[in-house]
Structure 1
């Protein structure tokens, strides 16, 4: 995988994460506590859905941060090298996830 292919894949994944966040906005809205319109179990379900949506949002934010860091490494010429030992990261590993920071040996 070339740096430009990696950049393209990272930018596409970042855009997809932003779109997923946009589509999931309703799930993160506060749960109304109106006893008359929503029963207790329905409210509990809504709160559980809200909690899961917030957790997904946090995971997507963490992945976006990894993508941004990988894009910065590409710009600085450090992409593709292990952050710990400095050796090249295997091509297949980078093809699977261009945002990885460690070779397989150091990732263990």
Structure 2
């Protein structure tokens, strides 16, 4: 993709970059915490009751799902930061139009304008 002629001012790009960096930091911390809590636990029959084992297995599944979603979002944030550096940030991957600043502040990692996201 080529560089976008974006109507975003330098201060707006700085605001979006700051939001992306804040999200990146939050996701990295969360993944570290969830990784620590997802360590295998001893679920032997005689040390833990059956319902406790079921709860532990369910919690492990929920933690794994959350971790996967966070990893996907982390990838999107990193990609958005790369697009800012490349000068391609702010263009819709669908129609090529400029994504409005207001949308970028709400969804800074977005790849599409609202119309393309809706499928219109």
TM over 0.5: yes
1:90 aligns with 2:108: no
Does the alignment pair 1:18 with 2:28?
Answer: yes
Q: Quick one: which of 47, 54, 63 aligns to 1:37?
A: 47
What is the TM-score with the length of structure 1 in the denominator? 0.92
Q: Runs of 5+ in structure 2 lacking a partner?
A: 1-7
* Unaligned ranges ≥5, structure 1: none
How many residues are paired up? Answer: 108
Given that 1:89 and 1:103 are in contact with CA atoms closer than 8 Å, whether structure 2 keeps it comes out as yes
User: Residue in 2 aligned with 1:51?
Assistant: 61
Work out the CA distance in 1 between the residues paired with 2:116 and 2:35. 37
**Deviation of 1:28 (Å):** 1.3
Q: Which has the higher contact order (CA 8 A, sep 6+)?
A: 2
Superposition deviation, residue 27 in structure 1: 3.2
Query: Residues of 2 paired with 1:27 and 1:45: CA distance?
Result: 14
TM-score (norm 2): 0.84
Which consecutive aligned stretches of 4+ in structure 1 deviate over 6 angstroms post-superposition? Answer: none
